[in-house]
Amino acid sequence: MTLTPEQQADIAASRGRTATTRRPTVAALEEVLFDALPVLDHGFVRVVDYMGDDDAVVQAARVSYGAGTRSVRDDGGLVNYLMRHRHTTPFEMCELKLHVKLPVFVARQWIRHRSANVNEISARYSILDDEFYVPAPEHLAAQATSNRQGRGRMLDGAEAARVLDVLRQDARRSYDRYMELLNETPTGETIDPARNGLARELARMNLTLNVYTQWYWKIDLHNLLHFLSLRADPHAQYEIRAYAEVILGLVERWVPLAHGAFMEYGLGGARLSAKALAVVRRLLAGETVDQKDSGMSAGEWRELMAVLGR
Amino acid sequence: MTLTPEQQADIAASRGRTATTRRPTVAALEEVLFDALPVLDHGFVRVVDYMGDDDAVVQAARVSYGAGTRSVRDDGGLVNYLMRHRHTTPFEMCELKLHVKLPVFVARQWIRHRSANVNEISARYSILDDEFYVPAPEHLAAQATSNRQGRGRMLDGAEAARVLDVLRQDARRSYDRYMELLNETPTGETIDPARNGLARELARMNLTLNVYTQWYWKIDLHNLLHFLSLRADPHAQYEIRAYAEVILGLVERWVPLAHGAFMEYGLGGARLSAKALAVVRRLLAGETVDQKDSGMSAGEWRELMAVLGR
Amino acid sequence: MTLTPEQQADIAASRGRTATTRRPTVAALEEVLFDALPVLDHGFVRVVDYMGDDDAVVQAARVSYGAGTRSVRDDGGLVNYLMRHRHTTPFEMCELKLHVKLPVFVARQWIRHRSANVNEISARYSILDDEFYVPAPEHLAAQATSNRQGRGRMLDGAEAARVLDVLRQDARRSYDRYMELLNETPTGETIDPARNGLARELARMNLTLNVYTQWYWKIDLHNLLHFLSLRADPHAQYEIRAYAEVILGLVERWVPLAHGAFMEYGLGGARLSAKALAVVRRLLAGETVDQKDSGMSAGEWRELMAVLGR
Amino acid sequence: MTLTPEQQADIAASRGRTATTRRPTVAALEEVLFDALPVLDHGFVRVVDYMGDDDAVVQAARVSYGAGTRSVRDDGGLVNYLMRHRHTTPFEMCELKLHVKLPVFVARQWIRHRSANVNEISARYSILDDEFYVPAPEHLAAQATSNRQGRGRMLDGAEAARVLDVLRQDARRSYDRYMELLNETPTGETIDPARNGLARELARMNLTLNVYTQWYWKIDLHNLLHFLSLRADPHAQYEIRAYAEVILGLVERWVPLAHGAFMEYGLGGARLSAKALAVVRRLLAGETVDQKDSGMSAGEWRELMAVLGR
């Protein structure tokens, strides 16, 4: 992770300021507020602001469901009930704002989640930093042959070394020529006073997709959990999953009840289809069932057996 | 405005709690945090939480536009620039959460703004309070005859008194019979133990559209300003405008720079059409122009003359 | 269901017009295009336009997932795969536009689904029709005592008759006085030329929540299925469920493959929590498990037993 | 523009199919349906479906505003009125679906418009085509010195040639090494059977930001016009503006009334601030006003003078 001296000074200044507030405040999250938590080789995630806490979820639910909710359940039970029954609006009452540094190809997956607010550094105006993602050797994998998606077996040492060389060389070369096109260094010094630099909005197209970008990303808790349910999932690409896992840890600090409910009913649970439920009922009744007479496809059957731990 | 003793105790408790935070904090808004600001006869607006301040807008803009913005402008100038050039995303970095009590027919207009998070009291679960909106006599107006929308001249004393009688009687009667259908009082006591009450989700349909409801409403600053540009506008119905004006005052406390830019470029400005611009240019060149040779409709011409103060 | 002669003439005219198009066209949906399908006592649902079909979902998926999807699966298998793995964006490529007549209290639930486009008749400009919802006697139920939501046992004959009288009388009276306030009939005739009518935007507040309104509602297939998963669910209030079921039938005509996948993986399936999965695994292993040692609450346990058909 | 033989066959087949429909149909748009309209060096825009027409806007407006709109205005006047008064929801009743081929750096700007549905080709599953954007020499410009954004004077011949060489070489080299990493050609043939290819989801990071991608993009007319108001604007980067202009032409074919209103009140108009209005009023009153006593910044003054044609 690379923070510029300016960014480090900003972070230290932000961390040093305190104020008194009447707003709901979460001590465990305040502890890490503004800290840059490293992800991948140069990336990070920083909480820069938050609104609300577990109580805010409970309070919104009690407004909606009224007196009926007042006595019967404790807060944890209520949060579980909301998550289980897809009463999602109370979770929208909390908001998290992150500063994230991430490779462009990860940003392109991430931005597909539309229910968020984003301010990304613009390479029309700024010169991007000289940093690009190169995977650790243990994350280099061959294309999976069983399906069209995802990674198969790991590359061996020589293959991996060759891949890393290519990625490093090409990103480096593209970046060097980006500066040459700009006729400017990342800190804004002119390289050759006799030449004109190409407009930044054009020069950027020479960069490779592993160059790092940065953004402020703000999202409500409901939509954040939806993002995490897709991106902390084992089917997600490793690189975005690495971010999702760091964010999941921040969610645990911030709203431990909502986090617990999400692990129980969201990430930790499973959705069964009508046919899968029929199979489970037959199995529980002592029948022997196999894929052929389940009405399920081979892929579905395999997924169901995995879910049932068979 | 009617707050239940429970709500008053909640507000006092919330106001009494303070915590230390590293988050951006706005003293002028903290002053009124949790206070119920009265609107109409029984309604209110309360800020229950907020995220960010003018600096958060500036900070997000500086991330997007980079070093170029660093030296040249002060914060106020930058906020004005963003507003003027429709760079709206930095304004999405601030968030406001309100608790609002409002008549159902106002809620039905308000909810059309979809970019917000809402938790409304549900009459499936709770019994609504015995409160309904009756306009002040000075807000009773005849249907406008010049156009199909809005209000015309004020009703005179006898007419107004008759209208108020009808509104009061019918709301009262509908509410009384709502309780009778429920066989329950607003505080949950059974009226006649020998009868069954009708399900709440059904009984509510007997209420009139001026009954008060409540909700938590959370929205980012950009979408809030868009809401205000439509609802603090003179064409908006008086009842929703009354809420918009209170909220506008809260925005001024919260983000004075953004508020100033909005008054200058949003509410206080005007959009001119291509034809209107052509007229202005001709007028400035000393030509005499009238509606006929302006290419504009009579309505457009009238609007333009009003904008130009003619 | 009441259609004005004007509306009937419009529908007949629309049904009579045909054109040639190169767009994807669904014969089974064209058959009922523009028809008003009755719902409740005066409501209806009409398809007024649609975009796309099952092929459009498949085509979008093949763009996203490329050549890999080309040979291995037939269209039905691919649609099932997308639904099962929450690849929701291809379902957003289809769009349905409905004209709906519905009671205001139903409209208030419905509008909470924000990912749709809506044009509702405005009582600021128009006079609402003299129609209000009164439930059929078999839908009158007492408040459930087991929980705070929903309906319990049916009301008996005398109780039901009394409820229906109240609902009819109060809606009628409020409507009659609405006209009196307006000093105008629904067809726009002045009642008493010597009086001024109250502005429409004010008079409407005297109406009860069972008055019928109308809107055009346009939504993409993914968001429509999400709406249906909540509103065609047995926990939804009967009145909105009645609309959801009619729409579900239209979806079956329109996109039979997506409908089938939704019945299998959406409405017909169930989500199991981490604890529920653990219970199922233990049961399948031959263990006896009861609520106490399941770690689940009584409510959760009851729900799981229902899902497992025990 | 490069279409694969497969795509060309698909287009021919789609164009050859016709069906009878009762839906609103627009002959002028049907004429170009499925046609790939070229943009930049290898990109295109194709309409693949549409819903609604100018009448659909009018019809939705008449539902909302009721009988009052029925007699007084013709359709064109009503559409103008809606646009002028920001009654945006009727424009949401029309929907356009495009197939677009565009460079990744353009896609990154475009995707920021969140109110749209998108299915993009995924380089996790597919191998991207061997095509990348290289500007025409007349679009190569130096960085503007007056502001931090956008382009200044054009590069001269030798400078331009050098830039084009760099862009071509680096994109080519990165693409060749992408294939080498994959150990596969774009048509799926293995290059060296003795080696394992790197997973596609990783190999893609070696590509440059001018590589072409493709997507299906579906959006309603209101949000499309908002997109065009930003991207057909002279301040937009040339490359995305080139797409916006082609789409603007399609909008004119599809909904000529809405297009006309947009040119008059949207693209062709201007927003004046409160201070700018005050200046105009003073000028019209015969006063001499200069920037100093206008209260406006130098930038604002310059913009106002341009708008007023001075």
| pLDDT per position as a tens digit, C26-41 | 999 999 999 999 999 9
Residue C217 lies in a domain: yes
Residue A158 lies in a domain: no
Among C49, C93, C118, the residue with its CB nearest the CB of D216 is: C93
Measure the CA–CA gap between C130 and C179, rounded to whole angstroms: 10
Q: Which residues of A touch C309 (CB under 8 A)?
A: 281
Residue D76 shares a structural domain with residue D128 = yes
Residue C283 shares a structural domain with residue C264 = no
Among A67, A77, A277, the residue with its CB nearest the CB of C269 is: A277
- The rounded mean pLDDT for chain B is 92
Q: State whether B120 and A50 contact (CB < 8 Å).
A: no
Helix boundaries (H) for A124-216 = 157-182, 200-203
Residue C247 shares a structural domain with residue C262 = yes
Residue C152 lies in a domain: no
Q: Tokens 């504009």 identify what position?
A: B296
| pLDDT per position as a tens digit, B229-272 | 999 998 899 999 999 999 999 999 999 999 999 999 999 999 99
> What DSSP letter does each residue of B52-95 carry, written as one string?
--HHHHHHHHHHHHTTHHHHH--HHHHHHHHHHTT--GGGGG-E
Residue B199 shares a structural domain with residue B66 = no
Measure the CA–CA gap between C122 and C128, rounded to whole angstroms: 8
- Structure-token pair, residue B265: 């470029």
Residue C215 shares a structural domain with residue C301 = no
Crossing angle of the two packed helices A274-284 and C274-284, in degrees rounded to 10: 40
Q: State whether C274 and A264 contact (CB < 8 Å).
A: yes
Among residues D116, D201, D108, the alpha carbon closest in space to that of A240 is found at D201
Query: Distances from the Cα of C286 to the Cαs of A285, C48, C280, C292, C295, in angstroms?
Result: 11, 55, 10, 17, 18
Residue A299 lies in a domain: yes
Residue D239 shares a structural domain with residue D287 = no
Q: State whether D218 and C65 contact (CB < 8 Å).
A: no
Residue B252 shares a structural domain with residue B281 = no
Helices (H) and strands (E) in chain D, counts: 13, 9
Any chain C CB within 8 A of the CB of D218? yes
| pLDDT per position as a tens digit, D121-140 | 999 988 999 999 999 999 99
- Structure-token pair, residue B219: 């929205």
Residue D264 shares a structural domain with residue D178 = no
Check residue A249 and give its pLDDT. 98
Q: State whether C206 and B207 contact (CB < 8 Å).
A: no
- The rounded mean pLDDT for chain C is 92
- For residue B102, the distance in angstroms to the closest alpha carbon of chain A comes to 14
Among B200, B207, B237, the residue with its CB nearest the CB of C208 is: B207
Check residue C13 and give its pLDDT. 86
Check residue C148 and give its pLDDT. 52
Check residue A11 and give its pLDDT. 85
Please tell me what DSSP assigns to residue B184: B
Residue D30 shares a structural domain with residue D118 = yes
- Series of mean pLDDT values for 10-residue runs along chain A (310 residues): 77 89 97 97 97 96 73 82 94 98 98 95 92 95 68 87 96 97 89 92 97 97 98 94 98 98 95 96 95 93 93
Cα angle for residues A29, A34, A40 (degrees, 5° grid): 100
Q: Tokens 């405008």 identify what position?
A: B241
Q: Which residues of A touch B67 (CB under 8 A)?
A: 125-126, 188
C46 is catalytic: no
Any chain C CB within 8 A of the CB of B204? yes
> Residue C201's pLDDT band (boundaries 50, 70, 90)?
very high
Query: Distances from the Cα of B267 to the Cαs of A87, B83, B259, in angstroms?
Result: 37, 12, 10
- For residue A294, the distance in angstroms to the closest alpha carbon of chain C comes to 13
The H or E element that residue D27 is part of is helix D27-30
Residue B120 shares a structural domain with residue B175 = no
Any chain D CB within 8 A of the CB of C93? yes
Strand-pair partners of C218: C97, C117
Residue C39 lies in a domain: yes
The H or E element that residue A276 is part of is helix A274-284
Domain residue limits at C7: 1-127+210-269
Judge whether B297 and D77 are in contact, CB under 8 Å.
Answer: yes
Residue A39 shares a structural domain with residue A128 = yes
Q: What is the ipTM of this complex?
A: 0.94
Check residue B72 and give its pLDDT. 52
Measure the CA–CA gap between A240 and A218, rounded to whole angstroms: 17
Residue B262 shares a structural domain with residue B178 = no
Judge whether C96 and C47 are in contact, CB under 8 Å.
Answer: yes
Residue A71 lies in a domain: yes
Check residue A57 and give its pLDDT. 96
Residue C232 has pLDDT above 90, yes or no: yes
Check residue D68 and give its pLDDT. 55
Any chain C CB within 8 A of the CB of A300? yes
Residue C5 has pLDDT above 90, yes or no: no
Check residue A146 and give its pLDDT. 59
What is the tally of structural domains in chain A? 2
Q: Which residues of A touch D151 (CB under 8 A)?
A: 199, 201-202
Per residue, the 3-state secondary structure of chain C, as one string, reads CCCCHHHHHHHHHHHHCCEEECCCCCHHHHCCCCCCEEECCCEEEEEEEEECCHHHHHHHHHHHHCCHHHHHCCHHHHHHHHHHCCCCHHHHHCEEEEEEEEEHHHHHHHCCCCCCEEEECCCCCCCCCCCECCCCHHHCEEECCCCCCCEEEECCHHHHHHHHHHHHHHHHHHHHHHHHHHCECCCCCECCCCCCCECHHHHHHHCECCEEEEEEEEEEHHHHHHHHHHHCCCCCCHHHHHHHHHHHHHHHHHCHHHHHHHHHHHHCCEEECHHHHHHHHHHHCCCCCCCHHHCCCHHHHHHHHHHCCC
Catalytic residue among B46, B200, B204, B231: B231
Measure the CA–CA gap between D121 and D213, rounded to whole angstroms: 7
**Which domain CATH number covers A56?**
3.30.1360.170
Residue C122 lies in a domain: yes
Q: State whether D264 and B273 contact (CB < 8 Å).
A: yes
Q: Which residues of chain D have pLDDT under 50?
A: none
What average pLDDT score do residues B87-111 get? 97
Beta strands in D139-280 (DSSP E): 141-143, 151-154, 212-220, 270-272
Measure the CA–CA gap between C203 and B150, rounded to whole angstroms: 12
Biggest distance spanned by C-alpha atoms of chain D: 85
Query: Over pLDDT 70: what percentage of chain B?
Result: 95
Q: Which residues of A touch B50 (CB under 8 A)?
A: 23, 51
Residue B149 has pLDDT above 70, yes or no: no
Q: Which residues of C touch A268 (CB under 8 A)?
A: 273-274, 277
Residue C187 lies in a domain: no
Give A128's contacts (C-beta < 8 A, 6+ positions apart).
Answer: A121, A178, A186, A204, A207, A211, A212, A213
